[in-house]
């Protein structure tokens, strides 16, 4: 899962990125927009530690999240409150989800680009920027499709008209303030929009970056309307503190957290909010070679879940042998689970649940 981290200048965007990645990142080209910092982090699934003790596999493989820290805006060509350049929007289109960093701390040494710290205003500004990017993309698509329809042969027009209708429908709703992910679209309309990679169709999380002694705000406490807050994930943290802890020796970081009475690292909460907002669950596979957690969209059916292991598994799917994680731990083995009737065979339309331990039978 690739998540792009964005925010206004002086929001602590890069500090959040450094905390999430423990300072481990690499640079890659930004398509002329400057380098993009990329950090890959593991999402530790504690169930794998238990399965490791049962199977003693050669490898334990946890899911990963890849975070992107976009390059800064070219201030010479940007307005005071601009969040993204056109080239940065192109980069965002390839991300699976977006993490918006919103400043909630006061620091006279770091001037806010809009002069005052106002998290509610900044949330709306960031979301409006995403909508603006989508409107520009849809306006260009509408013009291109309209021109193409005029030039098309009569036999070609019936296939072009539905796409133009969809673009115009979505654009009208977006102009009314409804992000794409909140619009009631048919499956065929959703499919038609895939190639546009619209930003408001992506899952969005808000990370409120507060001061060390401050309680992070929430969308509710800020009075953000339900129309705006609907569907947004949210999490609060002190990015500077989390960055310092992330860069410490792990044992020292644990001692420091205990001394300060801190709970689990906030970066772990960020990961969980990302999973929940994107709508992911994990099924598990076990064996002597490896035990692994596979993140998949909630509601995915077994045949499609098999394809996450290898694309050929979708075509060759026969059935899935499934046992719930808790049942496997209670039984102690798949063989005992079979005896007790909790290891069962499921067909291609079975809806995979979080924690299902699955062995796929495939026709090769």
In angstroms, rounded to a whole number, what is the distance separating the alpha carbons of residues 138 and 64?
Answer: 32
pLDDT surpassing 90 at residue 5: yes
The pLDDT assigned to 54 comes to 94
Residue 295 CB neighbours (<10 A): 19
In angstroms, rounded to a whole number, what is the distance separating the alpha carbons of residues 200 and 311?
Answer: 29
H or E segment at 116?
A: none
Backbone angles phi, psi at 144, to 5 degrees: -65, -45
pLDDT surpassing 60 at residue 77: no
Token couple for 305: 């879940």
CATH number for the domain formed by residue range(s) 299-362: 3.10.20.30
The domains spanning 128-200 and 299-362 adopt the same CATH topology: no
Pick the CATH number of 2-118+202-278 from 3.40.50.300, 3.90.600.10, 3.10.300.10, 3.40.50.10210: 3.40.50.300
Per residue in 34-49, pLDDT tens? 688 999 999 999 999 9
The residue ranges of every structural domain in the chain are 2-118+202-278, 128-200, 299-362
Per residue in 83-130, pLDDT tens? 677 778 888 999 999 999 999 999 999 999 889 999 999 999 999 999
CATH entry 3.40.50.150 includes domain 128-200: no
Q: Provide the whole-model pTM.
A: 0.88
The answer to whether 41 touches 21, Cβ cutoff 8 Å, is yes
Per residue in 224-273, pLDDT tens? 888 888 889 999 999 998 898 888 887 888 788 778 777 778 888 899 99
Q: Which of 207, 357, 225 has the alpha carbon at shortest distance from 267?
A: 207
Instruction: Return the beta strands (E) in 191-254 as ranges.
Output: 204-209, 233-237
HSE, CB side, 13 Å, CA atoms: give it for residue 267.
24
Which whole number is the average pLDDT over 165-174? 95
The pLDDT assigned to 248 comes to 85
Per residue in 284-313, pLDDT tens? 999 999 999 999 999 999 999 999 999 999
């Amino acid at each position: 899962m690739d998540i792009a981290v964005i925010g206004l200048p002086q929001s602590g965007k890069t500090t959040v990125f450094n905390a999430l990645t423990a300072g481990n990142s690499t640079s890659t080209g930004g398509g002329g927009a400057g380098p993009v910092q990329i950090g890959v982090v593991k999402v530790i699934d504690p169930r794998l530690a238990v399965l490791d003790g049962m199977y003693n596999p050669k490898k334990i493989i946890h899911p990963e999240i890849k975070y992107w820290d976009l390059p800064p805006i070219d201030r010479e060509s940007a307005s005071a409150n601009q969040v993204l350049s056109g080239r940065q929007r192109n980069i965002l289109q390839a991300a699976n989800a977006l993490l918006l960093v919103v400043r909630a701390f006061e620091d006279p040494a770091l001037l806010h680009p809009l002069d005052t710290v106002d998290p509610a205003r900044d949330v709306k500004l960031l979301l409006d920027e995403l909508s603006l990017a989508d409107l520009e993309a849809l306006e260009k698509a509408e013009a291109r499709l309209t021109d193409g329809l005029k030039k098309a042969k009569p036999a070609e027009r019936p296939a072009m008209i539905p796409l133009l209708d969809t673009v115009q429908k979505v654009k009208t709703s977006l102009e009314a303030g409804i992000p794409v992910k909140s619009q009631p679209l048919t499956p065929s309309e959703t499919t038609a929009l895939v190639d546009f990679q619209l930003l408001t169709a992506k899952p969005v999380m808000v990370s409120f970056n507060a001061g060390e002694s401050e309680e992070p705000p929430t969308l509710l406490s800020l009075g953000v309307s339900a129309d705006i807050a609907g569907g947004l994930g949210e999490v609060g943290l002190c990015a500077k503190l989390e960055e310092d802890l992330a860069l410490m020796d792990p044992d020292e970081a644990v001692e420091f957290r205990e001394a300060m009475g801190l709970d689990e690292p906030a970066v772990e909460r960020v990961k969980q909010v990302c999973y929940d907002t994107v709508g992911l669950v994990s099924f598990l596979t076990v064996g002597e070679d490896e035990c692994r957690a596979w993140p998949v969209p909630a509601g995915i059916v077994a045949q499609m879940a098999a394809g996450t292991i290898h694309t050929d598994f979708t075509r060759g799917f026969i059935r899935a042998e499934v046992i719930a994680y808790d049942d496997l731990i209670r039984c102690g083995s798949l063989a005992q689970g079979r005896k007790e009737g909790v290891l069962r065979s499921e067909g291609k339309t079975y809806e995979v649940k979080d924690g299902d331990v699955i062995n796929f039978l495939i026709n090769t």
